[in-house]
Copies of this chain bind each other. A is one copy, B any other.
Amino acid sequence: MFENKERTELSSLGEFGLIDKIKEEFPLMNPSSMVGIGDDGAVLDPGGKYLVLSTDLLLESIHFDLTYMPLKHLGYKSTIVNLSDIIAMNTIPEQITVSIGISNRFSLEAIEEFYKGIKLACDKYKIDLIGGDTSTSEKGMVISITSMGYGSKDEIIYRSGAKLNDLICVSGDLGAAYLGLQLLEREKKIFLENPEIQPDFENKDYLIERQLKPEARKDIIEILRKEKIKPNSMIDISDGLSSEILHITKASNMGCKIYEEKLPIDSLTAQTAMEFNLDPTVCALNGGEDYELLFTVGIEYFEQLKMIPEISIIGHICPKEEGCSLISRANNQYELKAQGWKNFSN
Q: Which residue numbers of A lie inside 8 Å of B, CB to CB?
A: 1-2, 5-13, 15, 18-19, 21-22, 25-26, 28-30, 32-33, 35-37, 41-42, 44-51, 53-63, 66, 70-71, 94-95, 97, 99-102, 104, 106-113, 115, 119, 122, 126-140, 142, 144, 146, 148, 150, 343-344, 346
Q: Assess whether B19 is in contact with A134, with CB atoms less than 8 Å apart.
A: yes
Give the residue name and chain of the B residue nearest to A137 (CB). Answer: B59
Tell me, in angstroms, the Cα distance from A104 to B1 when the chains sit together: 14
Closest Cβ–Cβ distance, residue A81 to chain B (whole Å): 11
Q: Assess whether B131 is in contact with A32, with CB atoms less than 8 Å apart.
A: no
Give the residue name and chain of the B residue nearest to A51 (CB). Answer: B46
Q: Assess whether B133 is in contact with A55, with CB atoms less than 8 Å apart.
A: yes
Q: Assess whether B122 is in contact with A55, with CB atoms less than 8 Å apart.
A: no
Tell me, in angstroms, the Cα distance from A219 to B25 when the chains sit together: 26
Q: Which 6 A-B pairs have the closest CB atoms?
A: A47-B48, A48-B48, A144-B144, A42-B130, A8-B108, A57-B99
**Chain B residues in 8 Å Cβ range of A49:** 46-48
Q: Assess whether A63 is in contact with B108, with CB atoms less than 8 Å apart.
A: no
| Copies of this chain | 2
Asked whether A135 and B25 contact (CB < 8 A) given A51-B51, A129-B36, A130-B37, the answer is no
**Chain B residues in 8 Å Cβ range of A50:** 46
Give the residue name and chain of the B residue nearest to A92 (CB). Answer: B30
Tell me, in angstroms, the Cα distance from A300 to B33 when the chains sit together: 38
Q: Assess whether A108 is in contact with B10, with CB atoms less than 8 Å apart.
A: yes
**Chain B residues in 8 Å Cβ range of A45:** 48
Which of A29, A54, A122 is most buried by chain B, counting CB atoms within 10 A of its CB?
A29
Q: List 9 A-B contacts (CB under 8 A).
A: A1-B110, A2-B107, A10-B104, A28-B130, A48-B48, A53-B130, A61-B138, A104-B344, A142-B142
**Chain B residues in 8 Å Cβ range of A63:** 135
Tell me, in angstroms, the Cα distance from A178 to B138 when the chains sit together: 22
Closest Cβ–Cβ distance, residue A91 to chain B (whole Å): 11
Q: Assess whether A101 is in contact with B133, with CB atoms less than 8 Å apart.
A: no
Q: Assess whether A29 is in contact with B128, with CB atoms less than 8 Å apart.
A: yes
Q: Assess whether B11 is in contact with A109, with CB atoms less than 8 Å apart.
A: no
Q: Assess whether A28 is in contact with B128, with CB atoms less than 8 Å apart.
A: yes
Q: Assess whether A130 is in contact with B44, with CB atoms less than 8 Å apart.
A: yes
Tell me, in angstroms, the Cα distance from A107 to B21 when the chains sit together: 14
Q: Assess whether B144 is in contact with A32, with CB atoms less than 8 Å apart.
A: no
**Chain B residues in 8 Å Cβ range of A18:** 108, 111, 134
Give the residue name and chain of the B residue nearest to A126 (CB). Answer: B29
Q: Assess whether B122 is in contact with A26, with CB atoms less than 8 Å apart.
A: yes
Closest Cβ–Cβ distance, residue A197 to chain B (whole Å): 18
Give the residue name and chain of the B residue nearest to A82 (CB). Answer: B133
